[in-house]
């Protein structure tokens, strides 16, 4: 068999031959199409993410709670369980929580100085029950479920502050995240899932979800170091706030294992910053507080 070199060379000629270089517009067009095929999906994805996912209703100045029956107590970190200072009034100045079954739960100061303590109570079926503690001095109520479960924070026998669940006469210590010593429960849904904030080894506080006996760290915004979960619905969607890389706090939503800053998900308005999401209902509507033109406002976010 004779191998014809010219045929071999013809079949193996380079793509950029002298002939092809004589038609630069074709390759420029080809390069443009290739670039668009790569960049266009990225641009469309970014546009989709930037499009508002919620309509925004300004509810006015102040802290207004709407749209959900779940309880909320939302500090930047767990509330300190301490006795009042000398001369402090011993009347209750804590939140009272109630449900559709006619039950109510609250905390109040009891005793005389210097042995004043914070006690937690549940009123149900005409009886008032002292819920006790996790072995320490004080107990603070932060929520009540539809079925009569009470949540909050209590001192342990070691003097640490731990989140608790009180159910059918038994108080359960929810513990903390690994390495931490403090935690507080802030809300409970009808499935007895609980959210709050808990300390980690560094001393920072992270939002948590407690479910089926396990406390899970819900995570942070990129380059942030702290977060707190304030409320949840029965679909497992959690809202709260998380620190940003500039050390401020933004309102956030934890959904399907991801944390989302709510600020990019609302229509842009100059001078507006959502700082904390305080409630979420079954339709996904969120109540949030924030700053608008240097004043505190409450907003309602409704999914589109």
Task: Report DSSP letters for 249-297, one per residue.
Answer: EEEEEEETTEEEESGGGS---TTEEEEEEEEE-TT--EEEEEEETTEEE
Helix/strand/coil (H/E/C) assignment for every residue in 154-183: EEECCCCEEEEEEECCEEEEEECCCCCCCE
Do residues 31 and 39 make contact, with C-beta atoms less than 8 angstroms apart? no
Percent of the chain predicted with pLDDT > 90: 68
Q: With 0-12 CB in 10 A as exposed, 13-18 as middle and 19+ as buried, what is 266?
A: buried
Summarised one tens digit per residue, pLDDT across range 160-197 is: 999 999 999 999 999 999 999 999 999 999 999 999 99
List the Cα angle 137/143/144 in 5-degree steps.
110
Highest mean pLDDT among 56-65, 87-96, 195-204: 195-204
Q: How far apart are CA 161 and CA 153, in angstroms?
A: 6
Task: List, in order, residues 6 or more apart from 75 with CB less than 8 Å away.
Answer: 184, 197, 228
Predicted TM-score (pTM) of the model is 0.77
Do residues 51 and 265 make contact, with C-beta atoms less than 8 angstroms apart? no
Do residues 286 and 37 make contact, with C-beta atoms less than 8 angstroms apart? no
Report all structural domains of the chain as residue ranges with CATH numbers, in order of start.
52-303 (2.120.10)
Q: Which two tokens stand for residue 157?
A: 């026998």
Q: Closest Cα to residue 155, out of 206, 120, 111?
A: 120
Q: With 0-12 CB in 10 A as exposed, 13-18 as middle and 19+ as buried, what is 19?
A: exposed
Q: How far apart are CA 283 and CA 301, in angstroms?
A: 11
Summarised one tens digit per residue, pLDDT across range 38-88 is: 555 544 444 444 579 999 999 998 654 443 334 333 333 455 565 444 433
Per DSSP, 123 falls in state: E
Task: List, in order, residues 6 or more apart from 23 with CB less than 8 Å away.
Answer: none
Summarised one tens digit per residue, pLDDT across range 284-297 is: 999 999 999 999 99
């Amino acid at each position: 068999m004779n191998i014809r070199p010219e045929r071999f060379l013809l079949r193996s000629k380079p793509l950029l031959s002298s002939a092809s270089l004589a038609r630069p517009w074709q390759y420029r067009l080809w390069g443009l199409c290739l670039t668009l095929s790569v960049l266009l999906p990225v641009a469309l994805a970014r546009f989709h993410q930037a499009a508002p996912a919620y309509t925004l209703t300004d509810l006015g100045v102040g802290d207004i709670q709407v749209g959900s029956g779940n309880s909320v107590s939302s500090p930047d970190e767990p509330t300190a369980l301490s006795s009042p200072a000398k001369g402090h009034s011993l009347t209750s100045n804590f939140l009272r929580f109630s449900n559709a079954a006619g039950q109510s739960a609250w905390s109040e100061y009891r005793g005389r100085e210097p042995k004043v303590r914070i006690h937690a109570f549940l009123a149900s079926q005409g009886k008032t029950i002292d819920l006790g503690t996790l072995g320490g001095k004080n107990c603070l109520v932060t929520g009540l479920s539809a079925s009569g479960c009470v949540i909050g924070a209590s001192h342990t026998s070691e003097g640490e502050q731990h989140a608790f669940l009180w159910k059918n006469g038994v108080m359960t210590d929810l513990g903390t995240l690994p390495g931490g010593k403090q935690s507080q429960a802030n809300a409970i849904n009808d499935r007895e899932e609980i959210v709050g904030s808990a300390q980690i080894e560094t001393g920072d506080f992270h939002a948590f979800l407690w479910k089926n006996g396990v406390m899970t760290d819900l995570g942070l915004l990129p380059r942030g170091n702290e977060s707190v979960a304030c409320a949840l619905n029965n679909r497992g969607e959690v809202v709260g706030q998380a620190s940003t890389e500039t050390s401020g706090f933004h309102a956030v939503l934890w959904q399907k294992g991801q944390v989302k800053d709510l600020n990019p998900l609302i229509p842009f308005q100059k001078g507006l910053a959502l700082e904390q999401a305080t409630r979420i209902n079954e339709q996904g509507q969120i109540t949030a507080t924030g700053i608008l033109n240097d004043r505190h406002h409450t907003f309602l976010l409704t999914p589109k």
